[in-house]
Amino acid sequence: MQRIVIDTNVFVSALIQKSYPYHIVNHLFLANKVSLCISDSVFEEYCAVFGRKKFSRFPDFYESAQKIISDIESKSIRYTPTKKIAIISDHDDNKFLELALECKAHFLITGNTNDFTIKSFKRTAIVTPKEYWDSFSS
């Protein structure tokens, strides 16, 4: 089964609109067709971002976010990265590369193409949700 790391922005997009992130989360992750890998720091970021007031303008965002947090807790595989990495200019995003390295993720899925300018890191392909859905989900 593919091991994937999902950047926070992908989950946020999945909660707001029914596009590629929504399909990845609902038709692959929640359907147990891929293994979502998380770390404590990634999970903490998910929880913090999902609770931001700016998302209150989207109907049912908080209720859906609480459900997805519960699903992430119960369905993902938790890792503890052992190596610190400083490649991404937004230093807070390096935790996703550290996790990808630790779990030997096949894919890191992110909509943040401004900071994730590299196409791969070690064994992990770094792709947008559209790239993943179109080319790698099968």
The DSSP line for 41-63 is: HHHHHHHHHHT-GGGGGSTTHHH
- Write down all domains in the chain, each with its CATH number in brackets: 3-136 (3.40.50.1010)
The two beta strands, 107-109 and 3-6, are parallel
- pLDDT, tens digit (0-9, with 9 covering 90-100), for 41-95: 999 999 999 999 999 898 899 999 999 999 999 999 999 999 999 999 889 999 9
Residue 37 DSSP code = E
pTM: 0.94
